[in-house]
Amino acid sequence: MQAFFIRHPKVWRAFDILLPFLATLAALGVGAVMLMAFDANPVVAYGALLEGAFGSTNAIADTLVKATPLLLVALGICIAFRGGVINIGGEGQLVLGALASTLVGLTFPDMPGYLIIPLALFVGFLAGGFWGAIPGFLKAYFNVNEILSTIMMNAIAVQGMNYLLKEPMIDPVQLEAASRIPQTARLSAAFDLPRLVPTRLHLGTALAIIAAILVFIFLWRTVVGYRIRAVGMNASASRYAGINVPRNIVLALALSGAFCGLAGAIQVFGLHHRMFTDGSATGFTGSAGFNGIVVALFGQLHPLGAIPASFLFGALIVGANKLQRVMQVPASFIIALNGLVVVFVVSADYWRRRMARRREAEVVSEELISSEAEVPT
């Protein structure tokens, strides 16, 4: 197989791109066995999944809506990973972005949408960035492990959200009705992100795709992006090259948090139009802060790769809900299926890298031999 790939580099490329999808199919295959253990017909079950994800305009729109925060978080994760830091704090940063943008919307209820929407999204972006910059600062200057600190920042963000939504920011209607459901008032309808087609699909999805392209340009076409990647690949060589390593670590985590914050703001203005909590982060985020990490890995830590990856995961989440409703299998089956996909995709990626290294070594040594032959000595 190796020799075949070397002779046909295009097939090799195509295979590499298809591999995550093949891995997903394999995971669904194992899932089929589990379904049979529940006495459910896998064909019917996966039919339901497909229909739930793609069966109608509304289904596709739902998939895209689900994919939007995943994509934005994944972009943040890409930046962090490329900068050599790991951001597990997507949940907290998302919550911060959502809270801050909601606050903007609640503070200026009478201002026009074309002013408030960009302002609120920007404030959400900054708030998430602030929340990411704190662990970045601790990592860069005090060598605090960013995995631990970002997780702790999640906990702080969630409890802060719970307090704010129960007391200062609670919907006045909830106070009057004494039901005290922890949520804010609905934002002015003028602030709703425009719908793209008459479904739940909103402008946020388009913004996320534009953001993916911008992140790509940022990482590979700008000086700052170059430096972040250099620091991520080799901090010691970067220091030697005169790059301020701590500053770039802070920047990588701040930008990472900023895109998670933007995801939160877009969830509020595009989908929920208010902020609410069920006491945990998941109630509002739907675990996008964590699933975004998987999406980023699925997209091979490339901002453009994250676009199809987020779409696939969105489809899986939306479709799986339908599957569960139709087949009446336990909800934990969906979690297990999700886990299977992650394991298969990550393993397949590991395998792909190992194969690629070997093939690269062969191709390069052949190229080198031929190039040495050409250089006269």
Partner 1 sequence: MRGHCPRISAQESIFRIQFMVENSEFLPSGKPKISTMEMRGIVKRFPGVLANDQVDFDVQSGEMHALLGENGAGKSTLMRVLYGLYQPEEGEILIDGTPVKIESPHDAIEAGIGMIHQHFMLVPTLTVAENVALGLPSTRGALTDLDNVSARVLELAELYGLQVDPDAYVWQLAVGQQQRVEIIKALYRGAALLILDEPTAVLTPQEVNELFVTLRQMMVDGHALIFISHKLQEVMDICSRVTVLRDGRVVGQEPIDQVTKGTLAQMMVGRELQAKPEKEETEQENVRLALRDVWADNDLGTPGLHGVSFDLRAGEILGVAGVSGNGQRELAQAINGLRDITKGSVKAGERDLTGASPAEIIEQGVSYVPEERMEDGMIKEFTVAENLILREVNKPPFSRGGFLNFRAISRQSEDLIKQFNVKTPSKDTPVKNLSGGNIQKLLLARELSRKPKVIVAAQPTRGLDIGATEYVHQVLTDQRAEGTAILLISEDLDEILALSDRIIVIYEGEIMGEVDAGEADPEQLGLLMAGVRSQTGE
Instruction: Confirm or reject binding of residue 332 to partner 1 (CB under 8 A).
Output: no
CB of 236 to partner 1, least distance (A): 5
CB of 84 to partner 1, least distance (A): 11
Instruction: Confirm or reject binding of residue 301 to partner 1 (CB under 8 A).
Output: no
Return the residues of window 339-358 that contact partner 1 according to CB under 8 A.
358
Residue indicated by tokens 């194992």:
30
276 three-class SS:
strand
284 three-class SS:
helix
Instruction: Confirm or reject binding of residue 230 to partner 1 (CB under 8 A).
Output: yes
**Which listed residue (1, 56, 243, 323) binds partner 1 by CB under 8 A?**
243
Instruction: Confirm or reject binding of residue 367 to partner 1 (CB under 8 A).
Output: yes
Q: Which stretch binds partner 1 (CB under 8 A): 99-107, 161-169, 223-231, 325-333?
A: 223-231
**In angstroms, rounded to a whole number, what is the distance separating the alpha carbons of residues 336 and 348?**
18
Nearer to partner 1 among residue 130 and residue 226 (C-beta): 226
Q: Which stretch binds partner 1 (CB under 8 A): 29-37, 159-167, 221-229, 339-347?
A: 221-229
Nearer to partner 1 among residue 278 and residue 362 (C-beta): 362
**Which listed residue (108, 226, 276, 290) binds partner 1 by CB under 8 A?**
226
Q: What is the DSSP letter of 278?
A: S
> Residues touching partner 1: how many (CB under 8 A)?
34
CB of 361 to partner 1, least distance (A): 6
Beta partners for residue 183, in sequence order: 276
Question: Which of 192, 197, 193, 195 is CA-nearest to residue 57?
Answer: 197
Instruction: Confirm or reject binding of residue 239 to partner 1 (CB under 8 A).
Output: yes
Number of neighbouring beta carbons within 10 Å of residue 164:
18
Residue type, 280: S
Q: Which stretch binds partner 1 (CB under 8 A): 24-32, 52-60, 114-122, 242-250?
A: 242-250
Question: Which of 209, 205, 186 is CA-nearest to residue 195?
Answer: 205
Spatial contact of 81 and 301, defined as CB atoms under 8 Å apart? yes
Instruction: Confirm or reject binding of residue 143 to partner 1 (CB under 8 A).
Output: no
Question: Which of 341, 133, 362 is CA-nearest to residue 253?
Answer: 133
Nearer to partner 1 among residue 179 and residue 370 (C-beta): 370
**Cα-based distances in Å from 172 to 24, 156, 176, 263, 264:** 46, 25, 6, 26, 23
- Region at 300 (left for phi over 0; alpha for psi -120 to 50; beta for the rest): left
Instruction: Confirm or reject binding of residue 108 to partner 1 (CB under 8 A).
Output: no
Nearer to partner 1 among residue 202 and residue 229 (C-beta): 229
Instruction: Confirm or reject binding of residue 236 to partner 1 (CB under 8 A).
Output: yes
Instruction: Confirm or reject binding of residue 234 to partner 1 (CB under 8 A).
Output: yes
Question: Which of 82, 49, 110 is CA-nearest to residue 259?
Answer: 82
Instruction: Confirm or reject binding of residue 214 to partner 1 (CB under 8 A).
Output: no
**In angstroms, rounded to a whole number, what is the distance separating the alpha carbons of residues 5 and 356?**
10
Question: Which of 342, 351, 350 is CA-nearest to residue 27?
Answer: 342
Nearer to partner 1 among residue 198 and residue 242 (C-beta): 242
Number of neighbouring beta carbons within 10 Å of residue 239:
14
Nearer to partner 1 among residue 143 and residue 377 (C-beta): 377
Residues at the site binding partner 1, with contacts judged by CB under 8 A: 221-224, 226-227, 229-230, 233-234, 236-244, 358, 360-369, 371-372, 375, 377
